[in-house]
Chain A
Amino acid sequence: MKKENGKKWNKYLYAGIVMTGIAVVLGIVGFFWTPYSTTAMSAAEKFSAPSLRHPFGTDNFGRDIFSRVMRGLGATMLISSLVVFFSGLAGILLGAVTGYFGGILDEVVMRITDALNGFPSILLTLVIISLLGTGRQNVIISMSLVFIPSFVRIVRGEFIRLRDADYIRRARMMEVGKFRILFVHILPNVFSVFWVSVMIGFNNAILAESGMSYLGIGVQPPDASLGNMLSDAQGYLQSAPWCALAPGLTIVWLVLGFSLFSEGIRRRASAAGV
C-alpha cells in the first residue's frame, strides 16, 4: 500500500491532469479561435443534432455549441481562477496576521467571517451583485469576498499551530523580523495544506460561477458561459437534449478532473511525508 502511494505518479494525478489539461487547452484556445463564431446565428441550422460538422450540435439560434462550450469553458475558468487568486491572497494575509498575532484584530476578523459564514454563500453573492450590478468583474469581486472566510480559517489555523513550533521560537530568538517570520519562515510550511483548500475552492468557484450565470447574473448573453448555456437550453430539454448535455457534462468533466488532480496531489504530498 505504501509503495503504491509512494509513486510519484498515481492514477488520480494522471487522470486529473489529462482531464484538466484537455479542458484548459480547449478553454485557452477558445479565447482566440473557435471553429465557428460563438454568436453568429444561422436559422437554417437551428437544433441540428451532433454531427461531424457540429460535434455538439447547434442551439435554438443555430449557433455551434462546441464553439460556445469552448468559449464558456475559458470564461468560467478565468473567473474561477481570479476568484481563487484574490480570495486566496486575502486569506493568506488575513489568516497569517490574525493567526500569528491573535488579539483584537483576530477577534474582529473572525467575527466578520463568522457573520459571512452565517449566510448561504450564493445568497450573499446575490446581495453583493445586486449592490454592484451584474457583469464579469462584479461577479469576480463578489465571489472573491464570499470565498475569503474559508481561506482565512485554514491559514489562520495553520499559523496558530506553527507559531509556537520550536523552529519559529528560535527564529524569534534570532530576532528575525516579524513579517519575515510570517511569510518566509511559516508560510512555506502552510502551503501544503493551503494548496488543498485552493483546489477545493477552485472547484466550488466553478460551480458557483456556473450557477450565477445560470441565474442570469454572471456572464451576460450573448457572451457564452457554461451556466447561461444551460439556462438557455432548459426550454428544449425534450426536443434538443444536446443543448443542455454539452455544457452540463463539461462542468462535470471540469470539476471531476480537477478533483482527481487535487486528490492526486494530496496523495503524492502525503506519500512524500510533507
Chain B
Amino acid sequence: MIKIEDLSVAFGGTEVVKHVSLELREGEILGIVGESGSGKSVTALTLMGLVSEAAQVTTGRILFDDVVLREAGKPCDLRIYRKYRGAEMSQVFQEPQTSLNPVQKAGKQVEEVLRLHTKLTGEEIRTKVLETFQAVGLHDAERVYASYPHQLSGGMRQRVMIAMAVILHPRLIVADEPTTALDVTIQNQIVELLRKINKEQKNAMLFITHDLHLARRLCHRVAVMKDGCVVETGTAEEVFDHPSQDYTKRLVEAVPSRVKGKSGIRGRSGELSAAEADSGTSESPEGRKAGNGISEVPEERKAGSRISEVSEERKTGGEISEVSEERRAGGGTSKVPGERSAGSSGAAPVLSVRNLSVYYQDGKSTLSQEQAEGQGRKKISLGSRLFQKRGQCVVWNADFEIYSGESLGLVGESGCGKTSLSKAILGMNRHIEGEIVHNSVRPQMVFQDPYSSLNPAKTIGWLLQEPLRAAGALDKSLAMTRADRETAARDMLRRVGMDERYFDRRPSELSGGQRQRVSIAQALITNPGFIIADEPVSALDVTIQAQIMELFLKLQEEMHLACLFISHDINVVYRMCDRIMVMKEGHIIETGETEEVFAHPKEDYTKLLLWGS
C-alpha cells in the first residue's frame, strides 16, 4: 500500500535519512525503531508531508497506492497531500500535552476533522464523535466531549488524539512515539487500543518508537534505523530473536531485560538480602537486633517506636515536638561513627525510614528557616511534627530501610509520590511525620534530565570540585587544598569513564550520556555512601542507558554505595536493584526481593505494572 523507495532527506546539505526503502501492506503494523537522531521521525514526517520546508528529498520517492506522493527534487505538493491526509492517512503525536489546542474543548477539536472531510450535519457529527470516543475507551464520552485538554489526564488526551486520527477510518495511521510520554499502565492500554483498532479497522500502522519492548509486542514487522539508514528489516520475531546486524544485536542487548542474567553484583547482595529475608521487610526491632548486634541500633529503635506511638495520637500537639527535640539532642550526632563501621560490615541500614508521611502544604512551614537548616546539617533529621494546618498527604506511612551497598528500586507511576518521598529523605520537604535516619554523610541525588542538572556556566572540573569545596567550607576537617581537589576531580572523572580532557570543557560541549556521567561523578565525589537516583537513565537512548547502568553497578561495587533508584521503567529497575518497592497513590504496596517480586507479585497492581512491559 505504502512504498518508500530509496528515500533520502537532507537538511541544508546534511542527509538525515539515507536511501531508506520501506513497504507497508494493508492491515500491517510496521515498527520503526532506533535511537534519537536515527531519522525515524523525519522519515514519518516526510511520508505525511509534514516535514519542514528546509528539508529536501534528494533521492527516491514515496508512493501511496502507486500514486506518487513525493519525489526527489520536487517540493512537497500540498494538493496531492490534501487528498490523502486526514481521510486516508493520519498521525498520532508524542506529546498529548501540546498536540491538542488548550483553548478548545476536546469534542470540538475532533469534530473539526469531520467538518473538514465529510458532509455530515452537526448532530450526526456529534453522535459520530461520541461513538468514536467510546470506541477508543473514553467511556465517559459526554464529559470528555465538553472538557478542555487540561481537564483530561495524559492517557485520556492521547485517546482523544487517537480518536481524532481514527474517526475517518484512514487506511494508514502514523504513530510517532505515541506512548512515550505516558505511564506504564496507561502505555499498555494505549498499545492495546492501537492493536484493537488495527484489528477492527484493518488499517496499516507505522509505529515509531525507541522502545524495543513495545515494538516487539505490537508490531508485525520491524525496521531498525541507525544514522538515517535502515540497517535491518524483518518480522518482529526475526529481528529481536535473531538479529543479523551487529547494531541490532547491540540494541537488543542494551535493552534491560529480565530474561537475561544479572552481573556479579547480585551475588554479594544475595547474602545481604538473605539476612533480611528472615526479619522481613516490615522489620521488628528484635529481628534487626539479632541480625547485627550493634548496640546503638536498639536504642535508636526505641526512640523510633516511641515517636511513632506518639505520632499516632498526633492531635495532642506539644508532646511530639518535645520528643523530637530530645532525640535531636540525644540520639543525634554521636551515632555516626559507630554506624559507619557497622556500614562496612554490610548490615546496618544507611537510611531507615519509619512511618513516614509526607504532606504538601500551601501555607508556610511553621518551622523557621534556621531550624530547618539546623536539622539538615545534623544529618539526622527527625522531622516528626504536628500539622495543625490542613496539608494534603502525598506519602502515607512509608517504612523501609536501605543497607550499605544495596540498591532499592522504587517504582510507580507519575504522581504516586516517588519524588515527594525522595525530597523528604533529602530534607527538601519538611512537612513530614515519622522519622528519617541517615547514617551516611548527606545523600546526593542524580536527576533525570542530564541537560538541566549541570550548571552551564561552569567547567566540568569546577563542577566536580564544588562538592568538595562545599564540604570543606562546612567542616574544616574536610577542607582540601586546591591541588588535592583537582586530583580528586580528575580521578573521579576517570572513574566514571571519561577522558581527562573534558576537565576544562563546559556541559554544553557534552552529550547527554556524558553529562549524566558527570552528574554521577559530582554526586559521588564526596563519597556519600548513599545516593538517590531519580530516573537517571530515562532520558537517554538505549545503548547509552545500558552504559550508564553498567557504570552505576560498577561504582556501586567499588564504593560500596547504597542507592535508592527511582524509575518507572520496570526493566531498568530489575537490572539495577536488589530489592524493589512498589508505590501506588502514596502507599508502598509491596516490598521485596527483586526476583521474588517479579516471580510472584502479591498485589494486582504490581502484576499490572509487570505485565505492562
| Chain A residues within 8 Å of B, Cβ to Cβ | 165-177, 180, 185, 188-189, 191, 273-274
For the complex of A and B, 9 pairs with smallest distance between CB atoms: A188-B457, A166-B453, A176-B470, A167-B455, A166-B452, A174-B467, A174-B470, A166-B447, A189-B457
A53 to B255, CA, bound (A): 83
Which residues of the partner chain B approach A174 to less than 8 Å between Cβ atoms?
442, 444, 466-467, 470-471, 526
How far does the alpha carbon of A175 sit from the alpha carbon of B457 in the complex, in Å?
Answer: 19
Partner of B445, one of A170, A175, A188: A170
A177 touches B453 (CB 8 A): no
**B270 CB within 8 Å of chain A:** no
Q: Is B449's CB within 8 Å of the partner chain A?
A: yes
> Could you tell me which residues of chain B, from 468 to 491, have a CB within 8 Å of some CB in chain A?
469-471, 473-474
Query: Least Cβ distance of B418 to chain A in Å?
Result: 16
- B602 at interface by CB-CB < 8 Å: no
B555 to chain A, nearest CB (A): 17
Residues of A within 8 A of B523 (CB): 170
Shortest distance from the beta carbon of B477 to any chain A beta carbon, whole Å: 15
Q: Which residue of A lies closest to B451 (CB)?
A: A166
User: Complex formed: what's the CA distance from A10 to B447 in Å?
Assistant: 38
For the complex formed, measure the closest distance between the CB of B468 and the CB atoms of chain A, giving whole angstroms: 9
Bound CA–CA A176/B444 (angstroms): 12
Given contacts A175-B470, A175-B471, A177-B473, contact A170 B444 (CB under 8 A): yes
Q: For B444, what are the chain A residues with a Cβ–Cβ distance below 8 Å?
A: 170, 173-174
Q: Are A170 and B442 in contact (CB under 8 A)?
A: no
Nearest residue (CB) in A for B12 is A2
Q: How far does the alpha carbon of A173 sit from the alpha carbon of B445 in the complex, in Å?
A: 8
Contact across chains for B508 and A176 when beta carbons are under 8 A apart? no
Q: Which B residues lie at the A interface, using CB under 8 A?
A: 376-377, 426, 428, 442-445, 447, 449, 452-458, 466-467, 469-471, 473-474, 508, 522-523, 526
The contact sample of 5 A-B pairs, CB cut-off 8 A, is A173-B428, A176-B473, A188-B458, A189-B457, A273-B508
Residues of A close to B466: CB separation below 8 A:
171, 174, 176
B443 contacts across to A, CB distance below 8 A: 173
Give the CA-CA distance A165 to B453 in the complex, in Å: 7
A167 touches B470 (CB 8 A): no
Docked complex Cα distance between A167 and B522 (Å): 11
Residues from chain A with a CB closer than 8 A to the CB of B452 are 165-167
Tell me the minimal C-beta distance from B333 to chain A in angstroms: 16
Closest to B454 in A: A167
Q: How far is the CA of A174 from the CA of B467 in the complex (A)?
A: 6
**B52 → A minimal CB distance (Å):** 13
| A191-B449 Cα distance, complex, nearest whole Å | 23
**Residue in chain B with minimal CB distance to A2:** B12
In the bound complex, what is the Cα–Cα distance between A169 and B445 (angstroms)?
Answer: 9
Smallest beta-carbon distance A168→chain B, Å: 8
Collect the chain A residues with CB atoms within 8 Å of residue B470's CB: 171, 174-177, 180
Query: What A residues does B449 contact at CB under 8 A?
Result: 166
Q: How far is the CA of A180 from the CA of B442 in the complex (A)?
A: 19
Closest to B455 in A: A167
Partner of A175, one of B442, B454, B456: B442
Q: Which residue of A lies closest to B364 (CB)?
A: A103
User: Please, which residues of chain B bring their CB within 8 A of the CB of A189?
Assistant: 455-457
A122 CB to nearest chain B CB (Å): 37
By beta carbon, the residue of chain B nearest A189 is B457
A167→B455 CA distance, assembly (Å):
6
What are the residues of chain B within 8 A of A173 when measuring CB–CB?
426, 428, 442-445
Minimum C-beta distance from A63 to chain B (A): 50
Chain A residue contacts of B474, Cβ below 8 A: 175
Smallest Cβ distance from A147 to chain B, in angstroms? 26
Assembled-state Cα–Cα distance A173/B449 (Å): 17
The chain A residue with its CB closest to the CB of B474 is A175
Q: Nearest B residue to A101 by beta-carbon distance?
A: B369
Q: Which B residues are CB-close (under 8 A) to A165?
A: 452
Closest approach, in angstroms, between the C-beta of A132 and any C-beta of chain B? 39
Q: How far is B444's CA from A172's CA once the two chains are assembled, in angstroms?
A: 10
11 new A-B contacts, CB < 8 A, other than A173-B426, A174-B467, A185-B455, are A166-B449, A167-B452, A167-B453, A167-B455, A169-B445, A170-B447, A171-B470, A174-B466, A175-B377, A188-B455, A189-B455
Smallest beta-carbon distance A138→chain B, Å: 38
Assess whether B457 is in contact with A170, with CB atoms less than 8 Å apart: no
Determine the residue in chain B with the shortest Cβ distance to A273. Answer: B508
Per the bound structure, the CA–CA distance linking A43 and B508 in Å amounts to 66
Bound together, the chains give a CA A180 to CA B467 distance in angstroms of 12
